[in-house]
Amino acid sequence: MARTQGACPCARRAHRRRRADLPRAPECRGLGAAASVRTRRRRAAQVVAGVPPDYFSATGQRWGNPLYRWAAHEAEGYSWWTQRIARSFERVDILRIDHFRGFAQYWEIPASAPTAIEGRWCTGPGAALFDAIATALGPLPIIAEDLGLITPDVAALRRRFALPGMRVLQFAFGDDHRNTYLPHHHEPDAVVYTGTHDNDTTLGWWATASAHERSHLLAYLGSAGSEPNWI
């Protein structure tokens, strides 16, 4: 895959590639917000960012970040985004964009709401943003964090731009053979992780895993489970 020049000469000499995460919505008092205060904030006192109820929380996640004014970004040709991504690739070789599904649709929460339950789905920039990035920067090694509630429009957006998605092994063994996180369902355009920043370590997960998850994992891998973190 192509990439911009300049990142990590020591790592390249050692045949290693450095990967970093790009938060979709930086904290409202951070440098990313300050640098784009004119185009980025969208009725910050009225609505904030987050995700609906899911596997991790029955009340969803109320992040509290200000939301993007996508019409303003579109009017500027998404220049803030292309500059942000170009700058990131000056430091790393591979970039994972967090909460990719928010580019298709994002969860908007009233600022007065204590949880994310009262939010609603709103339309994101979709292909227009990634067309602008591709035009400005060319093909780039970007991983799309496509976890959570992934609808067909999110999958179509990722595939349209040939961005690999994610598979998380800790999510694989709670169901049956149809679970899409199981290795036999992995597709070539996927990057496999043992867990994410929301998960425990592998040993921590194993210590609290259900009897079904443990037996499923051991049967699937044909292991006695003496060192589950090295299976």
Cα–Cα separations (whole angstroms), residue 105 to 50, 89, 181: 12, 26, 23
Contact 184, 195 (CB under 8 A): no
What are φ and ψ of residue 208, in 5° steps? -115, 5
Cβ neighbours of residue 212 under 8 Å, at least 6 residues apart? 173, 174
CA angle 178, 220, 206 (to 5 degrees): 100
| Residue tagged active-site, from 189, 198, 200, 227 | 198
Catalytic residue of the set 98, 118, 175, 213: 98
- Active site annotation includes 98: yes
198 annotated active-site: yes
Max alpha carbon distance in the chain (Å)? 59
Query: Cβ distance 39 to 73 under 8 Å?
Result: yes
Residues with catalytic function: 98, 145, 198
